[in-house]
Amino acid sequence: MQEIVDRITAEDEAAGIARTLLFPYLNHAATMFESGYATKADIDAAMRFGCGYPIGPLDLVDALGASTVAEGLAHLHERTGDQLHVPAPLLARLAVSSSTFAEEASAGAAAEEPVSHHPVAKVGVVGTGTMASGIVEVFAKAGHDVVFVGRTDEKAAAVQARVEKNLDRAIAKGKLDEAGKSAVIDRLTAATEREALGDVDIVVEAIAEDLDIKLELFRDLDRICKPGAILATTTSSLSIAECAAVTSRPADVIGMHFFNPAPVMKLVEVVSADGTSPEVADTVKTLCLDIGKHPVSCGDRAGFIVNALLFPYLNDAVRLHESGVPMGDIDDAMKATKLPMGPFELLDVVGNDVSLAIQTTLVEAFGHEGWTPAATLQKVVAEGKLGRKTGEGFHTY
């Protein structure tokens, strides 16, 4: 921890880059906590388990000292005039009183352990992309029977192949044996008809991030799934309430936002809409723990915790590059603060099209002009340089 603090507060150019990108992110985390959107524990856990950060943002403010962050932001604000760089009121207060977010949080009620209210044995997954494949793998490895539905046999076969490839990788590393692989594979059932989801206890959908497409699916799931089945969406930016509203069971509709790569990242944001029943939220949180994930709770608002904190930082990195700082220097400066990837490396993993769509949704939802998607992000998307998936993004692969 001290190593990270020393790196961020050093006098060199890399530390200057880190402060320019980290301080607005820390400020936003402070605002999010102050608004009551999520608890300190969940905000910190979200960035650690969703993005592999060594420390959550509010713990990082405490480690750096609120006054260090508030002064850094004030300097940044002098340069940029951006309202987003004005220290959040709570951060400013902590800076003056030399107190911490940990002390602020301990004044609140302690979180209770979730309990399951519905048995969840059989799981359905809809979708055949990277996220859907990862989610199928996670549930099957945790011992659940999984029915996954693709639009064609070829797409369903691709899910099976991706899961098998990951299991083979685990065998090659000595972390799994052939019997273990067979047991996981035996729990999988591929289907091309949604009717196959009639007897599952929960459906997790990871199809296209398009509201009309999701609404059509939710209407169908409502028709097909047995009473009491939980209907979960992995959306990162669409409204859970709108998905719930087209069903006859809005209390059973919830968000389960996994992170990329799903088999590795431990976080699931469990997103309750106003109509989601607390029992369903508790059941889903317990299920997350059962499959080895760390659930955090948040409300039905664009970006939830992680994307709202992460993507403005990634966008800021692109703008910093536009101002003349080489991409490699930015990636290196951030990795020196122990982030697992530099911002341009991560943009290429997530996909620049996905990142642009998320950033656009965040601007619409929050109205911060300072979050307007960077011109270069828009340009690489227009040129089809979407990241690793197209062989070229900010970096070439």
Does the footprint of ligand CAA cover residue 136 (CB under 6 A)? no
Q: Which of the residues 104, 137, 205, 269 is marked catalytic?
A: 269
Q: Exactly one of 79, 98, 173, 324 binds ligand CAA (CB under 6 A); which one? A: 173
- Annotation marks residue 315 as catalytic: no
Q: Which of the residues 27, 307, 315, 352 is marked catalytic?
A: 307
What angle, 0 to 180 degrees and rounded to 10, lies between the N-to-C axes of helices 327-336 and 343-350? 100
Query: Is residue 267 helix, strand or coil?
Result: strand
From the list 191, 102, 122, the residue with the least C-alpha distance to 150 is: 191
Query: Is residue 386 helix, strand or coil?
Result: coil
User: CA of 216: how far to CAs of 54, 239, 246, 323, in Å?
Assistant: 40, 14, 9, 44
CA atoms within 13 A on the CB side of 136: 35
Does the footprint of ligand CAA cover residue 395 (CB under 6 A)? no
CB of 388 to ligand CAA, least distance (A): 10
Q: Give me the 264-283 binding string for ligand CAA, x by CB under 6 A, dash otherwise.
A: xx------------------
- Annotation marks residue 27 as catalytic: no
Q: Exactly one of 138, 350, 380, 386 binds ligand CAA (CB under 6 A); which one? A: 350
How far is the C-alpha of 126 from the C-alpha of 285, rounded, in Å? Answer: 20
- Written in H, E and C, the secondary structure of 326-359 is CHHHHHHHHHHCCCCCCHHHHHHHHCHHHHHHHH
Q: Give me the 29-68 binding string for ligand CAA, x by CB under 6 A, dash otherwise.
A: ---------------------xxx----------------
Does the footprint of ligand CAA cover residue 259 (CB under 6 A)? yes
- Annotation marks residue 193 as catalytic: no
With CB under 6 A as the contact rule, which of the stretches 98-106, 188-196, 214-222, 339-347 interacts with ligand CAA? 339-347
CB of 173 to ligand CAA, least distance (A): 5
- Annotation marks residue 269 as catalytic: yes
Sequence-separated (6 or more) residues with CB below 8 Å from residue 82: 76, 370
With CB under 6 A as the contact rule, which of the stretches 3-11, 87-95, 225-233, 254-262 interacts with ligand CAA? 254-262
Looking at beta carbons only, is 87 or 295 nearer to ligand CAA? 295
Does the footprint of ligand CAA cover residue 312 (CB under 6 A)? no
Tell me the H-state helices in 35-87: 40-51, 57-64, 66-80
Sequence-separated (6 or more) residues with CB below 8 Å from residue 58: 29, 30, 33, 40, 43, 44, 101, 102, 105
Question: Which residues are identified as catalytic?
Answer: 236, 257, 269, 307
* Residues found near ligand CAA in the complex (CB under 6 A): 50-52, 166, 169, 173, 175, 236, 259-261, 263-265, 307, 310, 340-341, 346, 350, 354
